[in-house]
Structure 1
Amino acid sequence: MRAVVYRGREDLAITDVPEPPVGHGEVRLRVGVNGICGTDLHEYFAGPIFIPNGEKHPLTGRELPVTLGHEFSGTIVEIGPGVDGHVVGDRVAVMPLYYCGTCSRCTEGRYNVCAQIGFHGLMSDGGMAETTVVPQRMLHTLPDDVSLELGALVEPMSVAYHAAKLGAVTPDSTAVVFGAGPIGIGLWFALRGLGLEQVRVVEPSATRRAAVERLGAATLDPGAVDVPAAVADLTDGRGADAVYDAAGVRPAVQTALASVGSGKPMVSVAIYETPIETPLINLVMGESRIQGSLCYTHEDYAAVIAMMARGHYDTTGWTERIALGDVVAEGFEALYAGRKMKVLVDPTA
């Protein structure tokens, strides 16, 4: 079968690889759609970062090279022994986490921050291929009215939904999202799904602002307005009830911390390639805080899929589908250059 194999920094091979066997408690999926994630970009242009290199991952036993892809949906085409509740033909989204189940975080129910966490498609062969084999516990059945394309977006939208909840917002809250990439857009969808009316998206790129505005979002251009002052005006001087950093750059962090209300959180859901200086005085004087957010839970997946089934998510204007053979030029390089926002890879094309 054809697959996108990561061999190191700026080294991808679109090549034929053997299909792995289906073991106990596993299923084989015919991959429908696989999204290219920001993490994939970081691995390609600056890695290996999370992908094991020289030492096998403790849960999967894998290291370089690996088939990429952890944002994907598919159809079950083969079922291994010990699988109950799923049948050939089921359409599913995949929650690609490997976790030990025994560390203190897992036993507390916080398996999304397992001390040995792994991802299907980073620490094992993933979904950027014609087929992939996954444990049954990763599967979430898609309703008939949720397409495989939307199914591939369940993973990044669940990242955003999990972060949105960590802001402890209510329908009466005011929230500000920094960054209008896929996770920023997902945060806007999640916050609106949680009932918030007062949400602002801060984005310097006119193209990205236009994309999220077409979805219905209210935006702020940090190059044209004083964002903390605008947030203060919106909140009668209180500051935002939650701010979300989905940009991962110093100006966004500093502006976010200047916009958050007293005692309220900045939820950080970005990937930071380089250290960022944080003006702690803002946190001290307001008793505000920085809250990290990692991944998702099965409950997050279920919530996102339910909202998708209600028609809450709209992919118009910010996603693009490409063929597997175009994954480097039209996928990784185009995303890195900012020519595209979200690329979905079709392994059958």
Structure 2
Amino acid sequence: MRAAVYYGPNKLEVTDVDEPQVGPGEVKIEVGFNGICGTDLHEYYAGPIFIPTEPHALTGQQLPLVMGHEFAGTVTEVGSGVSGWAPGDRVAVEPLYRCDECHSCRAGNYNICSTIGFHGLMSDGAMAQYTVVPQRMLHRLPDNVSLELGALVEPMSVAYHAAALGDVHPGDTALVFGAGPIGIGLWFALTGMGLDHVHVVEPSATRRAAIEALGAKTLDPTAIDVPEFVADTTAGRGADAAYDAAGVEASVQTALGCVGARKPLVSVAIYEKPLTTPLLNLVMNESRIQGSLCYTSADYEAVIGLMEQGRYDTTGWVSTIALDDVLDEGFEALHAGTKMKVLIDPSLAATR
């Protein structure tokens, strides 16, 4: 079968590899769509970062690896001991490996497992025609949720998990910094939770236009004073939660000037540079910074439920490409900022 194999920085090759074989407790999936993630870009341009160069504690695998951890597909084969699943079932995959033994796992917070692994980063993944995963990674897709949307359940669950950590409720005011895929996912999640007062702060006119087309209200931080706007529109109360999906110093500093007393700034970004933001506002407000990592099965089910209700829309921000076009039309286009979100369809023929 064809697969995108990662060998190291700036070396990803689409090549022929053996089809994976299903083992006990596992299922084989024909991949419908696989998304390219920001983490994939970091690995390609600056890695290996998370991809192991020695056997991973949970998977035993190391590079070279087939990439791909945001995906949905159709079950084609089930291994011994698998129950409740059969060929033909359409699934989104929650790609986390966890130990079930560390303190976080025992507390139910397996998304911060001390030896966490990801299918497609710590094991051969889904930038391929087929992949094999443990049964417990599966989430059934409703009939009205496409495999294309199913491949977005993973990044949308990252956003949903972060949105929930903000402890917001209908009637609250929330700010989202950054209108990339996770920022868009935050807007979908927050509005799905019943919030009407959500503003997305984004300096890029292209990205503002994309999320505005979905119905979002946006703010251009280069044109207005965002903390002043928030103070004016909340009668000085401040935002009930702010979310940083931009990962830059300016967004953190502005967000801390917007959150109300004892309210959170939820960080769901990767910061490539150290932050030097003064924390005086945080101290004087008794506000806080809350980290957010990954998701749990509850987030997956919540996102799938909202998708079933028709709350997610791919119009204007999601592109689909062939597997053989993964470098030029995928990684390079995303790195250059000419595309926002790219899904790979392994059934498509290459464009060149």
Q: TM-score range by the shorter chain?
A: over 0.9
> 2:241, 2:232 → 1: CA distance?
16
Counterparts of 1:35-114 in structure 2 under 5 Å?
35-53=35-53, 55-114=54-113
Moved more, 270-279 or 103-112: 270-279
The residue that corresponds to 1:242 in the other structure is 241
1:254 counterpart SS class: helix
Task: Give the 4+ runs in structure 1 shifted more than 2 A.
Answer: none
Quick check: 1:255 aligned with 2:251?
no
The residue that corresponds to 2:334 in the other structure is 335
The residue that corresponds to 1:322 in the other structure is 321
> 2:277, 2:94 → 1: CA distance?
32
Q: Structure 2: which amino acid aligns with 1:81? A: S
> 2:37, 2:4 → 1: CA distance?
14
The residue that corresponds to 1:122 in the other structure is 121
Q: Structure 2: which amino acid aligns with 1:214? A: A
1:259 counterpart SS class: coil
Counterparts of 1:1-349 in structure 2 under 5 Å?
1-53=1-53, 55-349=54-348
> 2:281, 2:62 → 1: CA distance?
42
Q: Structure 1: which amino acid aligns with 2:64? A: P
Asked if the contact 2:20–2:130 (Cα under 8 Å) also holds between the matched residues in 1, the reply is no
C-alpha offsets along residues 260-293 of structure 1, whole Å, 9 cap, x if unaligned?
1111100000111221223211111111110000
> 1:159, 1:115 → 2: CA distance?
18
2:265 counterpart SS class: strand
> 1:76, 1:287 → 2: CA distance?
49
> 2:329, 2:152 → 1: CA distance?
19
Moved more, 12-21 or 103-112: 12-21
1:199 counterpart SS class: strand
> Aligned-pair distance for 1:338?
0.6
C-alpha offsets along residues 203-253 of structure 1, whole Å, 9 cap, x if unaligned?
000000000000000000011001111111111111101000000011111
> 1:49, 1:233 → 2: CA distance?
43
Aligned-CA RMSD value: 0.7
Alignment TM-score, normalising by the size of structure 1: 0.99
> 2:47, 2:249 → 1: CA distance?
21
C-alpha offsets along residues 156-206 of structure 1, whole Å, 9 cap, x if unaligned?
000000000000001021000000000000000000000000000000000
> 1:205, 1:331 → 2: CA distance?
20
C-alpha offsets along residues 62-81 of structure 1, whole Å, 9 cap, x if unaligned?
11111110000000011100
Runs of at least 5 residues in structure 1 that lack an aligned partner in the other structure: none
1:74 counterpart SS class: strand
> Aligned-pair distance for 1:256?
0.8
> 2:221, 2:204 → 1: CA distance?
9
> 1:121, 1:323 → 2: CA distance?
18
2:257 counterpart SS class: helix
C-alpha offsets along residues 74-124 of structure 1, whole Å, 9 cap, x if unaligned?
000111000000000000000000000000000000001000000000000
Asked if the contact 2:320–2:343 (Cα under 8 Å) also holds between the matched residues in 1, the reply is yes
> 2:118, 2:243 → 1: CA distance?
24
Q: Percent identity?
A: 71
> 2:9, 2:253 → 1: CA distance?
31
2:174 counterpart SS class: strand
Asked if the contact 2:95–2:118 (Cα under 8 Å) also holds between the matched residues in 1, the reply is yes
